[in-house]
A = this chain, B = another copy of it.
Amino acid sequence: MSRAEALSPARLKDAAPLFAALGDATRLGLLVSLCSGGPVTVTHLSGQFAVSRQAITKHLEVLSEAGLVKSTREGRERIWAFEPKRLDDAHAYLERLSKQWDVALGRLKAFVET
Contacts and interface: CB of A to CB of B under 8 A. Distances in A.
Q: How large is the interface on A (under 10, 10 to 19, 20 to 34, 35 or more residues)?
A: 35 or more
Interface in A8-30: 9, 12-13, 15-25, 28-29
Contacts of A24: 16, 20
B38 A12 contact: no
A55 interface: no
The secondary-structure label for the interface of chain A is helix
Given A32-B100, A104-B38, A23 B25 contact: no
Contacts of A104: 35-38
Interface in A24-77: 24-25, 28-29, 31-32, 35-38
